[in-house]
């Protein structure tokens, strides 16, 4: 698979503005969260590695009296490596691993009522996520697509991507529920 994605995701975020490890961690919970994320333990480890490799430097800032914050920024090398990575053709990922679909693959071993229950349970969560995404999307409503040179362009298209994805998932789950309900009806008649 693609190698060291976290490295380039961090370099990319730092290309927008200098940040601490903590800021980066928060950032992964924002728009990018729908397609990448990392725990703080992994981020701090990677930052250390990036510093050793000369891709980033940091300034220590004092917050309050004592607390040290490391503000990281890109070096020229880091910026160059990021831009180089950005403009790379890649083969599509072999699979997007999905536990729930593995479960559904074997669902013939479950009674219909239980399949419907599991599907409804998942669907409810995806609907909730979709609502959150659509709420976030409202900030763009009645406006043009963000300027193609601004950071907001990436935010915007990823948001659309996540919405389309969730809509597809819900569409599929509804279809599965329909199949199960139809089979249920057939069963009670036969």
The residues, any chain, with a CB within 8 Å of residue 103's CB and separated by 6 or more, are 118
C-beta neighbour count of 119 within 10 angstroms: 21
Pick one of DNA, a second copy, none as the site partner of residue 66 (Cβ within 5 to 8 A by kind): DNA
**71-110 binders of DNA (CB under 7 A):** 94, 97
Q: Which is nearer to DNA, 58 or 179 (CB)?
A: 58
- Measured CA to CA, the distance from residue 170 to residue 114 in angstroms comes to 18
Q: How far is CA 128 from the centre of its chain?
A: 16
Shortest Cβ distance from residue 164 to DNA (Å)? 23
Mark the segment that binds DNA (CB under 7 A) among 1-9, 104-112, 133-141, 153-161: 1-9
Q: Which is nearer to a second copy, 70 or 85 (CB)?
A: 85
Q: Which is nearer to DNA, 23 or 160 (CB)?
A: 23
User: What 8-state DSSP symbol labels residue 19?
Assistant: B
Q: Which is nearer to DNA, 68 or 144 (CB)?
A: 68
Asked whether the beta carbons of 55 and 75 are under 8 A apart, the reply is: yes
């Amino acid at each position: 698979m693609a190698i060291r994605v976290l490295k380039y995701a961090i370099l990319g975020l730092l290309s927008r503005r200098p940040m601490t490890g903590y800021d980066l961690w928060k950032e992964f919970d924002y728009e990018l969260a729908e397609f990448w994320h990392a725990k703080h333990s992994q981020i701090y480890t990677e930052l250390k590695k990036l510093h050793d490799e000369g891709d980033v430097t940091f300034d220590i800032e004092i917050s309050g009296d004592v607390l040290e914050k490391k503000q990281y920024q890109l070096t020229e090398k880091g910026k160059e490596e990021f831009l180089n990575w950005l403009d790379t053709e890649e083969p599509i990922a072999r699979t997007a691993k999905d536990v729930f679909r593995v479960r559904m693959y074997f669902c013939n071993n479950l009674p219909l009522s239980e399949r419907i229950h599991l599907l409804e349970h998942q669907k409810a969560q995806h609907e909730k996520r979709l609502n959150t995404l659509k709420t976030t999307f409202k900030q763009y409503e009645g406006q043009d697509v963000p300027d193609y040179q601004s950071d907001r362009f990436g935010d915007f298209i990823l948001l659309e991507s996540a919405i389309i994805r969730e809509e597809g998932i819900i569409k599929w789950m509804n279809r599965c529920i329909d199949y199960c309900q139809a089979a249920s009806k057939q069963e009670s008649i036969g």
